[in-house]
Amino acid sequence: MRMQINRNYEQSKIKPVTAQRSLLLSIMQETGMHLDAKELYRRASKKDANISLATVYRNLHLFKERGLIDERHLGQTRCYYEMKRLGGHQHLDLVCQGCRQIIEFKSPLIRKLIAEVQRKNDFSVTKVELYLEGYCNKCKEPKR
């Protein structure tokens, strides 16, 4: 099966350019939000009905390793992925237990906290995962 190949990631560190990789990256770029593997697979399948979930997983690992995307867990058993942002991409995710929306929260305190950890514990940070669960303003009134 031969496909149109979008080479707009050629300058990146991804070695062999394949149709599947182009497709996956362009979906992630357009989407600009957290996607899990299944959802990415669902969206990719609309353009390439033969793409397999294994390919999605393999390439997510590759993209992560090459620093193109970030992985977050957000308290789920599955993982979420999103394109890496430039600059201060440190943020806190607020996961609403009512509507399941994910709200991003940025604050200078996050950078300060990370700096404090590095200094006080001599710990060199490579990955930041910060999230809170609770109820957003629309979903207040928790069940109990």
**Three-class DSSP category at 19:** helix
CA distance 75 to 102: 12
Nearer to a second copy, 33 or 125 (CB): 125
Amino acid in position 136 = C
Site for DNA in 41-60 (CB under 7 A): 48, 50-55, 57-59
- The interface partner of residue 52, options being DNA, a second copy, none and the CB cut-off 5 to 8 Å by kind, is DNA
* Position 68 contacts DNA (CB under 7 A): no
Q: Measured from the CB atom, is 1 or 108 closer to a second copy?
A: 108
Residues of this chain that interact with a second copy (CB under 8 A) are 73, 75, 77, 92, 94, 96-97, 103, 105, 107, 109-110, 112-114, 116-117, 120-137, 140, 142
Q: Which residues contact 108 (CB under 8 A, 6 or more apart)?
A: none
Helix (H) or strand (E) holding 104: strand 102-105
Q: Which amino acid is at 121?
A: N
# residues contacting DNA (CB under 7 A): 29
Contact partner at residue 75 from a second copy, DNA, none, CB < 5 to 8 Å by partner kind: a second copy
Contact call for residues 109 and 95 (beta carbons, < 8 A) = no
Strand arrangement, sheet containing 80-83: 35-36, 80-83, 69-72
Establish if 62 lies at the interface with DNA (CB under 7 A). Answer: yes
Residues engaged in binding DNA (CB under 7 A): 1-3, 5, 15-21, 36-38, 48, 50-55, 57-59, 61-62, 77-79
